[in-house]
Amino acid sequence: MRLDKFLKVSRLIKRRTVANEACDAGRVMLNGTPAKASAKVKQGDVIEIQFGTKSVKAEVLDVRETVRKEEAGELFRYL
């Protein structure tokens, strides 16, 4: 699955366009390297997102095309 879509489906970032902009600005790291929105995400990957001065780090637990809002938290765990 594409990184921008995973960020939206998992609700780490609310909208795909915002996820794309964050990737283009270099604020999203995938396994320690700056990632493009088109990068492929798989189980076990570590995603780090810079939100201003705050940083969020999460490990991918599952990759699903669609998920209900209540179940979105099951796709990743914070590190």
pLDDT per residue as tens digits for the range 12-25: 999 999 999 999 99
pLDDT per residue as tens digits for the range 9-56: 999 999 999 999 999 999 999 999 999 999 999 999 999 999 889 999
Residue with tokens 């088109």: 38
Token code pair at residue 5: 């879509």
Helix and strand counts by DSSP (H, E) for the chain? 2, 5
Topology at the third CATH level for domain 3-78: 3.10.290
Sequence spans of domains, the chain: 3-78
pTM of the shown model: 0.92
